[in-house]
Structure 1
Amino acid sequence: VPITIYCSPCFSVYIVRQKTSFRFVALPVQNFFPCVILRVEDYSDVPTFLYSSVSKIYLIAVFPFSCLQSCLATKTLGGVLRCDPEVMKPSAKTPDDVNQVRPADINVIAAMGDSITASFINYDDDPYNVYPGNSYVIGGDETLEKHISVANILRVFNPSIVGMSHGTGYDNTVFNVAVSGRTSMDIPRQAEELIHRMKARGVRLRDDWKLISIFIGTNDLGELRCYSKEVREIYKTKLEEGISLLRSNLNRTIVSIVSMWNPELTIDARSLIEEGWAFFYFTCFMSKIRFHFVAYELQNERRFDHKDFTVVVQGFMDDIKDAFRNKSGEYDKSFYASDVFHLSKYGNAVVGKFLWNNLIEPVDQKTTKADLGNDDFPIKCPSKVCLYVFYTPCLK
């Protein structure tokens, strides 16, 4: 009798036993175990066979461990924002100065980048899908109490904020123009696409304050390219081209660049967790460092700075040099999607919380080693002393 392994990531399976005239529906796979071994007598046409009253199917084993990550992917992290009502208010008059922008003044949120920002496979182990509604920066499928994202936090300050991405796939990404698999070469195109979408949706390009997040570079660090000195210059050039397009077309804009994470956190996570050593760290570490410096160069050169436009780096994971560990100090795969590289829904929520906390810290006082594994770490409120900070330090 042949045996086949049938892995179904996210739909119910009908189990038919003709001899006993017994039919039942298995639990939805995303809530149970996605991989089961089915013993079959005829599986020449599996789709027909699964619903056939002729064939016999015997569920003989379930292997939860091998597919546990798919079940963990539904885990997330919600939060609450308990701030003084005074810091929650928008400015009495829309500010002209980028250094006087309160969180409630932000009317538009947007994002550019690769599969990390597009939220690739973060929900149910579908190897071909993205879940932008869960994105750490711009996801808006749920409330803050159910899932943390920068967008969900800003929505508490300003319920009218626009740009949040929703659902599955690329059909309702709104102002999330990140695309899986892309490198920095795609940033100028993404900038053009974002400007086009904003115009098409009636954003007041000159009047609305916009927060645009960029995270790119993971695919630039592919193993075949990590030794190339030219890649670093291409990376910087393409970021400059993209930001220049934004600067030429958008007023009242804060461009927030999330600096490249150390390879151990994502690229080397699987080898660290399963093998105890980091392969990519040794082969491409210097390339990552060069990319890391590019983000700070773009900030510190202040080439793009204007009264109503700026570039700021969020380096809250600059000094994290290990795979994700939970509060107990143990490696924890729940932070990752099934490939132990991309972020799970929970991982997106964790990153979203600490990205927000970094955003409202003065530029010379930003956290560089977020306590990612501490779920109890609070979502920060803007300081009463320094209500306006998104970029420059507050002067006391």
Structure 2
Amino acid sequence: MNSNVLVLFGTFVAVLGNNEHKSGSHRGYPPISFTCPPLPPLERPARNVYELRPQDIKVAMALGDSITAGFGIMGVHDDPILDLFEYRGKSFSIGGDAGANTIASWLRNYNKDLVGMSVGSHVAELCYGEICSPDQYHPDKDVLNAAQSGAMIPNLVKHELKYLLEQLKRNTKIDMENDWKLLTILVGANDVCLGCSGDVPYLTADDYEKYMTELMEEIHNNIPKVFVNYMLLFNVSQVYDISMKSDYCKDVHRVLGIECVCVFEGGEKTRVEVGELTRQFNDRAVEVAKKFAGKYDDFAVVIQPCVADGTAATLTPEVISTVDCFHPSLLMHELMTKVLWNNMFTPSSGKDSTFNFSAPLKCPTNETLLYTN
């Protein structure tokens, strides 16, 4: 994304205004809040990854793209520059702002000394293919959220993991060898969107599996004691279905198409192709996880389906940001938190892939595990 284009985009949406929905509005959705009681201290810490409980997690980490970076969470502002911000403190997996409904914030209820959470906001850190600079990071706010807006799958090994390792080693609050760490990975939407453009090389399913296997191997080789939340992709073409329910979003995509343009301009055939590539990536993600299943005592890669089955298309425009009618709004981040949280404490056979945000919140007990199978 060119920053000048984004400034013009922000100006456009600020002038256009938004009388249909507000980012963060819960209209028609159950309010999200953490109501689980505290747990007593563990009699002993987990001896291996198959015994992990929420109290065991000492470090939160994240890899990914603009979703995890929190781009556009707070919607349109009067000042268009603020439309270019990432609100990392509210990111579903690792945000640490006061009162934020995120996985890391909820885990902090069981371990007040949890470290790694990203906080606050700042202008977007753009990473796109080889155009990716480590100098963009803001370690005081990003902390262990290594995600960057625009990142594609190869960027995780080349750039994001490098930053993450540097910050882990520098953080004096982290016992690298002994602290249990939770790493959440959500990536691939930019690769899929690049693929549907049809005029540049893009990742095949084989490429995807190769890169993600390499990434998991590098994580295991360099970071002890890690539980990986490996999130399957949602079908990005379904953002089209959500957008078409809003006249405001129709105007945004018609006047200033920026995000995944081929989904909105390529017709139904292209959207079907996007769905198929997404399915292929998700199938390969399962194969990647199988390569590490039961292989190590201090490392597990766990598939979290959450939004993979296509039901996201039934959601209303409140779940997408008013900045670009593409990225998740604050509401969507909170809904993702709840669905991921419930899946983390559910065996693989019972994990939800239907984005069932109305399900009761699972409250861990002292016997509840972060399930690895």
| TM-score clears 0.5 | yes
- Give the drift of 1:230: 4.9
Contact 1:271 1:279 in 2 (8 A): no
Distance apart, 1:141 and its partner CA: 0.8
Could you tell me which residue of structure 2 aligns to residue 251 of structure 1? 224
When structure 1 is superposed on structure 2, of 184-193 and 209-218 the one drifting more is 184-193
Listed as ranges, the matches of 1:1-396 within 5 Å are: 35=14, 66-68=17-19, 72-75=22-25, 77-83=31-37, 88-125=39-76, 126-143=82-99, 147-169=100-122, 170-171=137-138, 172-188=141-157, 189-202=159-172, 203-225=174-196, 230-266=203-239, 269-271=242-244, 280-302=270-292, 305-325=295-315, 332-338=316-322, 339-372=324-357, 374=358, 377-382=359-364, 386-392=367-373
**What is the deviation of 1:371?**
2.0
Aligned-pair distance for 1:139?
0.7
Q: Check whether the contact 2:53–2:370 (CA below 8 A) recurs between aligned residues.
A: yes
2:61 and 2:41 mapped to 1: Cα distance? Answer: 20
Q: Tell me, what secondary structure is at the counterpart of 1:311? A: strand
* Residue 354 of structure 1, CA deviation: 0.9
Q: Measured at CA, do residues 241 and 174 of structure 1 come closer, stay the same or move farther in structure 2, by a change above 3 Å?
A: same
Q: Give the TM-score taking structure 2 as reference length.
A: 0.77
Deviation at 1:238, TM superposition (A): 1.8
The Cα shift of 1:344 comes to 0.8
1:298 positional shift: 1.4
* Aligned-residue identity in percent: 25
Question: How many angstroms apart in 2 are the aligned matches of 1:92 and 1:355?
Answer: 27
Q: Which residue pairs with 1:45 in the alignment?
A: none
Residues 309 and 355 of structure 1: CA distance in aligned 2, closer, same or farther (over 3 Å) = same
Corresponding letter in the other structure for 2:360 = P
Distance 1:129 1:297 in 2: 35
Distance 1:348 1:278, change over 3 A: farther
C-alpha distance in structure 1 between counterparts of 2:25 and 2:244, whole Å: 23
Please tell me whether the aligned partners of residues 32 and 101 of structure 2 are also in contact (alpha carbons under 8 angstroms): yes
Deviates more, 1:229-238 or 1:206-215: 229-238
Give the structure with the higher percent helix.
Answer: 2
Q: What are the superposed Cα offsets for residues 85-131 of structure 1, whole Å, 9 maximum, x if unpaired?
A: 5xx23432221211111101100001000001101111143442211
Secondary structure of the 1:108 match is strand
Contact 2:74 2:329 in 1 (8 A): yes
Q: 1:338-379: per-residue Cα shift (whole Å, max 9, x none)?
A: 22211111111111111111111112221111223x3xx432
CA contact (8 A) 1:123 1:344 kept: yes
Q: What is the CA-CA distance between 1:316 and the residue it aligns to? A: 1.6
Are 1:132 and 1:173, in contact at CA under 8 Å, matched by a contact in 2? yes
**8 Å CA contact 1:318, 1:369 repeated in 2:** yes
**Deviation per CA, 1:10-43, whole angstroms, max 9, x where unpaired?**
9xxxxxxxxxxxxxxxxxxxxxxx846xxxxxxx
Q: Are the equivalent residues in 2 in contact too, given 1:268–1:279 (CA < 8 A)? A: no
CA contact (8 A) 1:184 1:235 kept: yes
Deviation at 1:224, TM superposition (A): 4.3
Aligned residues: 320
Residue 272 of structure 1 deviates from its aligned partner by: 6.3
Looking at structure 1, the residues matched to 197 and 73 of structure 2 have their Cα atoms a distance apart, in angstroms, of 26
Equivalent position amino acid for 2:35 in 1: L
When the two chains are superposed, the root-mean-square deviation of aligned CA atoms in Å is 3.0
1:276-328 alpha-carbon deviations (Å, 9 max, x no partner): 98565323222111111121111123268301111001002222344252xxx
Rounded Cα–Cα distance in structure 1 between residues aligned with 2:196 and 2:295:
32
Equivalent position SS for 2:183: strand
When residues 389 and 140 of structure 1 are mapped into structure 2, their CA distance, relative to the original with a 3 A threshold, is closer
Aligned AA for 1:341?
F
Letter matched to residue 155 of structure 2: D
User: Structure 2: 5+ residue runs without aligned partners?
Assistant: 1-7, 77-81, 123-136, 251-263
**Offset, 1:214:** 0.3
Classify 1:191/1:90 alpha carbon distance in 2 versus 1 (closer, same or farther; 3 Å).
farther
Deviation larger for 219-228 or 102-111: 219-228
AA matched with 2:234: W
How far apart, in 2, do the equivalents of 1:322 and 1:253 lie? 29
Pair 1:265–1:209, CA change in 2 (3 A): farther
What residue identity is the alignment partner of 1:336? Answer: I
Question: Residue 333 of structure 1 aligns to which amino acid in structure 2?
Answer: P
Task: Note if contact 2:195-2:203 (Cα within 8 Å) is conserved in structure 1.
Answer: no
TM-score (norm 1): 0.73
**Mapped partners of 1:230, 1:72: distance in 2:** 35
